[in-house]
Amino acid sequence: MKDTITLSIRLAGLVLVIYTLSKTPVHSMAYSIRPEYGLMSYLLPFSIPILVGIIMFLFPNTIGSNLTKASPEILSIENPKRTVQIGCIMIGIIFLFFSISDLSFYASTAISLWLSDNHELNTLSFDVPGLSATIIELLFSLFLIFKSKLLVSKINV
């Protein structure tokens, strides 16, 4: 059971970091709209989940040992590497869905700006950081889907 909990905590930490990084455009856009709130009011909600995710990924045994004290039940998985690989693929599919959805939004915005006579397609009218973050999210999701075996071999299951 301890191995299963440790793997689950590592995967949850990985999901937390990737999901928070995918929200970088939201935090940067919010700061650019309302800088009077101060940088820390936007940096803390962004950096705390990343820090927690890194701690979950690096120290899952510490968190897992506290959880196994509370639950004496025995749970075992026959092939934990395959289970983690399936989990990585599922996470990749979720992020692939989000990135394709965002890419369709950016494509429709770019096409409407390009076809419009009143507006130009430039960095002031188009969210280039958001598009680049979405492309990075797409690359992460494709890596999780197609290179999950490599990732699982690096996790030390």
- Residues 154, 83, single domain; the answer is yes
Torsions phi, psi for 76 (to 5 deg): -135, 150
Q: Which range has highest mean pLDDT (1-15, 24-38, 53-67, 130-144)? A: 130-144
- Residues 57, 117, single domain; the answer is no
Indicate the pLDDT class of residue 14, thresholds 50, 70 and 90. Answer: confident
Q: Residue 74's pLDDT is what?
A: 61
Give me the chain's average pLDDT, please. 79
Q: Residue 70's pLDDT is what?
A: 54
Domain that holds residue 94: 79-157
Q: Residue 136's pLDDT is what?
A: 92
Q: Per the structure, how many domains does the chain have?
A: 2
Amino acid at 16: L
- Residues ≥6 apart with Cβ < 8 Å to 29: 127, 129, 130
Q: Residue 151's pLDDT is what?
A: 86
Alpha helices (runs of H) in 59-147, residue ranges in sequence order? 60-70, 80-115, 128-146
- Residues 109, 57, single domain; the answer is no
Count how many Cα atoms sit within 13 Å of the Cα of residue 157 in the half-sphere of its side chain.
22
